[in-house]
A and B are shown apart, each in its own frame.
Chain A
Amino acid sequence: GQQVMQIPQYQHVQEGEDFTTYCNSSTTLSNIQWYKQRPGGHPVFLIQLVKSGEVKKQKRLTFQFGEAKKNSSLHITATQTTDVGTYFCAAPDNYGQNFVFGPGTRLSVLP
């Protein structure tokens, strides 16, 4: 079935440093979503990307959808301790009915 890979699996950064997580698929995606899950919490929707090469910003977060629509990235500028959590990308499954979640990137921010 459809699989999406994410790298890195873990990232430890000093507060104020930048952070990027990458999501890759072997197939072309119609769209991709990003979610954040705080420790002990539940996934929360961040954004959806649909267009090839699309770039969207939310304050310090920048989301990008690749030109070939096979990869996506989430970049956080000047991380803060509130950014701690696991970031998941989610892509449509092979049947286009449900989303398949990537394994996530767990971000730790050291104060």
Chain B
Amino acid sequence: DTAVSQTPKYLVTQMGNDKSIKCEQNLGHDTMYWYKQDSKKFLKIMFSYNNKELIINETVPNRFSPKSPDKAHLNLHINSLELGDSAVYFCASSYRQGMAYEQYFGPGTRLTVT
């Protein structure tokens, strides 16, 4: 069974559109994350979320918003897509929030904005 899954795997869309990426984990973890990996492979955290707290990286534009219907899901909504949003987006989860816990990453969603 896949531990952390994401859909879609590829997403090609035009500037100005709104899109969502879904993420699900079946590990029973408390905390989920979204990361952006650019073309130079830099991995940057966007959000971390558990049922009590959402921590937002201050550099993330407010066009990006995480939505969590339940503990096992953390979806990423992006409004008014821009060319610079093209990247690979990874969802991840960990047992608890905090620095002591390893993160399990999903397979990634490659977003291309044209």
Contacts and interface: CB of A to CB of B under 8 A. Distances in A.
Interface string B45-86: 100100000010100000000000000000000000000000
- Interface bracket on B: 20 to 34
A69 interface: no
B99 interface: yes
Interface in A75-111: 86, 88, 92, 96-101, 103-104, 106
A108 to B, nearest CB: 14
B12 interface: no
A interface, over-half SS = strand
Interface of A: 30-31, 33, 37, 41-45, 48, 86, 88, 92, 96-101, 103-104, 106
A99 B103 contact: yes
B69 to A, nearest CB: 22
B43 A31 contact: no
Contacts of B107: 41-42
